[in-house]
Amino acid sequence: MKNHLPDGLLQATRLTTGGRLAEATAALQNMLAGRPARSNADVNPQLNPLTIEGVVEPARSARGDHAPQTWARFGKAGGGRTFASGQFNLKPAVSHPSCNFFGQGTHGNFQLPVGGLTPLSPNRAPVIVPDGARFLAKTFSNQAGSRPYKLYVPSGYHGQAVPLIVMLHGCTQSPDDFAVGTQMNAAAEKHTILIAYPGQTSSANMQKCWNWFSEGDQRRDRGEPSLIAGITREVMRDFEVDERRVYVAGLSAGGAAAAVMGNAYPDLYAAIGVHSGLPCGAARDMPSAFAAMQRGGKGFTHETAMSPQSETLGRLVPAIVFHGDRDTTVNPVNADAVVVQSAQGEALRARVESGQVPGGLAYSRTLHDDATGTTMIEHWLVKGAGHAWFGGSLSGSYTEPSGPDATGEMLRFFLEHPRQASA
C-alpha cells in the first residue's frame, strides 16, 4: 500500500528514529514552510524559539502577548484569508500508547505538541486566594488513569447549591497558570461559583496537551473524557452544586477537549466554551491533527461520539466560541465548525453585531437564535488577534488583554443557559 504521508514527515520520522532530533525538527520546518525535503547535510539545526503549540515565531512585542504576523505561508484558507504555519518541536517520548501522537507507534517513538500552548517565558505569578476562599489540590482516578486538579471554592460558598465551571488548560500550561491568565477565580468570587481546573500530566502527554486528537479520548466514558467527567462528578458529590448549571470551557487543546465533553456528555454539561479550539473529532491521529489545525477538520458526527446508551442523544448544547482571525496556530475555520457541530442540525437564525474594546481590538459577534429568539450559540471573531485568551492577564501565559473579556462573556453566557430538564 502506498504511503501518503508527506516526504518531510517521513524524513523527520527516520531522523528521529536515528536519534537526530535537531535535523528531524528542521525537516519539519522545511515541510511546513513549503520547501522540498533537503538532504540531511543541508539541514540547519539553528531554530527560532518555540511558542504556542510548538510553532516557531519571530520577534514578539515587548508585551509578549500578540500572535505572530510574519510566519511562513502554507496557503489560502477560509474566506480568502492567508494563514501560516511554522515549525514544530520534536522531542523524544516515553514508550506508551497514550503518549505517542501516532497512536500505535508505527512511525517512530516521538511526540509533537499538537493543539496547545508552549509559553516563551511565563511570569508564573502565584494564584491569589482571598480571605475565606480556598484553592484546593485534589486527584481523581478511575480505570482510565489518574489526573490532578485544582478546585477554587469562593468565600461566599457556605453549602448552598452553586454553579460549577470546569476549565481545561492548553498545552504546557497548568491549572495555576490557567487560573492566573484567565482570571476566572476572580469572576467566580464575585458570582459565587466553583471552578475546577483538571491538570494534564506529562506521562499522558509530554507537552501536557489534552489528547483531543486521539480516537480513544473522544468518546463517552473512555480515556480522558471519562477522567474529566469523573472530576466533574466528584466535585458535584463533595460540594453542593446546582446540577442544572454545570459547564466546561477550555483554550486551544483544552478548547478542543471542551468540545469533546459537550458532545459526549450533553446530560452533564449545560453549555460549553471553546476558545481557539477545534470541533470534536476533528482529527484521529497526529497527521490529521496538523491538517485540522491548518485547514480545519470535518469532525465526528454526534452519533459516533456519543454512547449508544445515552438517552440525551442529539440535545443541542449551547456554546460560546472565541477565535482570532489572525490565529496561525489553529485555523479560524475550526470555530465555524464548532458552531455547526454545536447546532446539531437545528435551524438557527444568525444575526451579527460588531464592537470594539475601548482602546483595544474590534470584533464581530454572531448570535444564533432558536425559534423562540433565545441565543443558543455565540461566535466571537476578534479582528487582528492571534492564539491567546482574550481579555486575560499578562501574569499568565498567552493572553491578549486588548481583546474582549472572554472570561466575563463566558460566565455571562453560561449563567444564561441552565440545562433544561429532559422532555
What are the grid coordinates assigned to 388, written together? 491567546
Show Cβ contacts of residue 324 under 8 Å, excluding neighbours closer than 6 positions: 67, 276, 332, 381, 382, 384, 385, 386, 387, 388, 390, 400, 403
DSSP string, 321-332: EEEETT-SSS-T
Instruction: Report the mean per-residue pLDDT for the chain.
Output: 77
Q: What angle do CA 206, 319, 390 make, to 5 degrees?
A: 60
111 or 265: whose pLDDT is higher? 265
Entry field: residues in the chain: 423
Which domains does the chain show, CATH number per domain?
7-111 (no CATH), 134-415 (3.40.50.1820)
Nearest to 279 by CA among 245, 328, 321: 321
Take residue 95 and report the three cell numbers written for it: 514508550
Residues with Cβ within 8 Å of residue 279, at least 6 apart in sequence: 256, 259, 297, 299, 334, 337, 338, 340, 341
Residue range 175-202, pLDDT digits in tens: 999 999 999 999 999 999 999 999 999 9
pLDDT for the residue 315: 79
**Range of weakest confidence among 91-95, 219-223, 406-410:** 91-95
Q: Answer yes or no: is pLDDT of 305 > 90.
A: no
Taking the C-alpha atoms of residue 230 and residue 210, their distance in angstroms, rounded to an integer, is 15
| pTM for the full predicted model | 0.74
Write out the three cell numbers for 280.
470534536
